[in-house]
Structure 1
Amino acid sequence: MATGRQIDTDMLSDEIFDVLCSMCTNDGRNTEGKKYCVHCHDYFCVRCVKVHSKVPLCAGHKVLDKSQVKSGTSKAMPRAPAERCDRHSHKHIDMYCQNHDNVGCSTCMAVDHRLCKDTFYIPEFIQNNTYQVESRDLQTKLKEIAKTLEKQVDKFKLDKQRLLKRKAEILADIRKFRQEINDQLDKLEKSSIDEIESRVKCLEDRIEDSLKQLLATKSRIRSANDKLTSTNTNHSEVFVNVKMGEHAVNVANKYIKHAKIKSTIENIEFQPDRTILTQLEQKKTLGTLSEQSTKTADNLFLLTQLEQKKTLGTLSEQHTKTADNLFQIKGNQSYYVKVKSDNNSCDIMSACCMEDGTIILADFSNNKLKRLHSYNYTVTDYCDLPDWPYQVCMINNTQVAVTVPSKKKVHFISLERNMKTTNKINTDFDCFRLAYANNNLYISDSSSTVYMYTLSGRKIRKFSKDQSGHKLFDI
């Protein structure tokens, strides 16, 4: 992006020279451009053309005398954009793919758009096409998105404060209950504290991850808005900034909708194990003294009961206390599931496990379904989707289904050889959660209604309440 004092080169050319040296003009000096670079589409004076030729990237450019250039050439070709590519920092964003309505450098086009038919050099595209760049409406959208993101950030910060406050309250309850029993229960107290610390740390990390994504998206929105605000008369520059701003808006809208869907914190409660206190109240002493200094059966029974307890109580996330946990985590490990074509950090919305151990992941932020190897959990294949996926479920050994809420569609993905979409079901609602049973699909909307579909896409029925008249669930 050009900086410094701007000069009306059209006015100067009428009064002083036919054409001006572009490098001198950027420095605020008026020098006649006697040389013309075919690749840069710029005029240079005798001194500046030597500097131009010494730049490694410009060493092979073709330079002509001004007399060899057709009349009007200086105004016929717009200047190339100065914006650098995020992926290939040594390249400028000077290419446009009309098929995907996306801009990038020449390397991006060679890698990601090599099969696209309509890719253009941006100055030539602007020269040959009538394109009106409107940035005012986009600036308004960027400002609105920034405000929405700010509200989401404040909400997550408030959730974190509430979570930490609840953590302190639960720790206080644990210590208070500990004092009601006996000073000899230090081990149970420590176990209870460790459990709440672990649970809160897990929830706190989840909020921190969401905050990082929102803050990063907010930064991109602010950057895009600043670039549009400071854009000069270089239409190529404005074109690039508009496209990058539109991309930033699309990404931000995804995260905003994602943040509204995902639950921020769990409602955790501490339920003390009152049986410990009851057993202690029933005991008159911890044991009996005998002349042989041996423990009585009653004392051994009390110690056995305490040793069988792991904590002072149980932690509940739904205000209910369960006798035992059905599942217990024995360990965890992180795996890298990002592929080269991913433009964002992976955000796994859902997953399903096939009968052979293969795992299918729904990557929300990169609009992909990814297949993981059943042994080393590396990505062996993936399938692009038109927008962010939400719920994936298994249909059979060679096929899965996934919901795409923004498109109101369910995609059927074949797992034979390369992953690809084989069929789609169109719905008239934002389809989120998905399940398959008895040859039928059960699809939920954004409220509490479940729709039953056949695999061919015929709607059979819908229901939103159980037999007692209560809602089935809330998303």
Structure 2
Amino acid sequence: MASNFESSIHRGCDFIHDFSCSPCEENGFNTEAHHYCTQCTKYYCQNCVSKHNGLYQKHAVLGRKDVKKWEAAPGVVDALERCGMHPGEALKLVCGDHDQLCCYVCVAIDHRQCSKILHIPDEAKGVQRNIEFQQIPKKIAEVQKQFEKMKEARLKNMTSLKKMRAAISDEIKTIRKNINEILDKIEKTTLQDLDGMIAEIEINLKKDIETCDKMTIELQNMIAAFQTKAKSSESKSYIAYRKSQGMISQANDHLRGISTIECYNVTYQPNHLIEELLFSIKTFGAIEEQTVLTKQREDPHSDPNHVFSVAEYKEYNVKISDDKHPYVIRSVCEMPSGEFVIADFNNYKVKLLDKEYRVLDHCDVPGDSWDVCHIDGNEVAVCVNSELHFINASKGKLVTTRKLSFNHKCIAAAHHGGQLYISSGTALYVYTMSGRKVKKLYEDKYGGNTVRKCAISNDGKTIFITNREKHQLITLDNNGNKLALLTDPDMKGPTGVHVTPAGHVFVCCIDSDTVLQVDKDGKKKLATLARKEDGLYGPGDLLFSSSTSSLIVGGFKDTLLVIKLN
């Protein structure tokens, strides 16, 4: 039991603790208790226990390590028996209408209008002999084992992630090394160009220096010779004069040649493209998360355009002794428990079937039962003339709870996203669960049965409508805009339409006695899955049961046709 006390269950935005601090709870706060006073018989959080201990120093206060003693203390409600909505109250009752455990506060606030409020001791009689009760520990152990396997898989996944990280890190380092080598090569080539240019300039500078040295020496010699010859005969002086002029002219030519270049400089113009490219690149590559789906999700049937084939056809009789009129099954829906609810149009009945399609219970409705749709949990809604009757289906029983009335016919209904989609035969309306009209989504007044039934995709973005009058399947978006219109020789008088959570779309046609599969966009037929020779007669509605991979079809017969699909 102690392990239960260590946990908490998230509910909405609050946490339901095994023990909530009593003073905090009185002040409207939800705080987990860590202490229990045996004299005060109250729970305290860390903050409140300090104030308590200051006032009552001699009281015996138990901590979390003594939580078993909390449970044994007088007035303490066992965590298992504590109401989830009102933690201070014990579960004493069961609401049969909602199949829900309740405390007295629950009944007073939420179940005052319910007709079946049962006492737990009465309902619990013989429960220990119940096979399902006896199998609970085994089922819990199985679920626990699955969590242990899941934990083991996740731990292995963490180890594999570390290995992946190391491998990717090595790959990045290799890329970095390659980039470094490329940059080293670019640097080497650039420096080689620089060294080659400076070497050529140095050659030119050395030539100029050598010319300067040579001319300086020759000019010095010429001055010495000129001064010597100038004191001798005029002839020698004249020769010295002429050679000196020639020497000066030659020297000036060298000076002009050298002086045209005042100085040699080397400049560097960086290639910023490299920096710009590197600056624009944030990572060495894209890091993406990849999830490997389970085998169940990898099932090819998860493809909305996967074309099914038929494994077998089988009929199940759903007639009961109270049936007085020819049988017409207008609608079929499946409950979360795997049970089925069908609408018997001619006999003004709604019937509850078990997983083997055996009738468990039935209830009468005040008129033609046109359609039945699953709402939520154990609740279904049945279209009766211009009303929608809500029925609770639990523990093998059907109980009518409430109804909504409309100012138009109600021949088909669907539920999605907390809203009701109601067909009047020529229009499709959207209502809130309380019966307030939101909008008229679509209308076709040119005929008497232009909006027969509708089905809504799992994401709520696509709506399929059967137009029996014009032999069409119409596809709308959730604003009522027409996306597609499908006709086919096998589609005569389409009545029922069903879309699975994976997006498969099925249609049954009352005039051509066919069951069709169409693509997810409602634009083309993918397959004809059943005809009259397969046992189909006047099909009114159909349903795909994912638990059995079967189509359940109802029509002008006292049997359901179950089509097992591959």
User: Is the TM-score greater than 0.5?
Assistant: no
- Write 1 or 2 for the structure with the bigger share of strand: 2
TM-score, normalised with respect to structure 2? 0.25
Which structure has the larger Rg over C-alpha atoms?
Answer: 2
- Write 1 or 2 for the structure with the bigger share of helix: 1
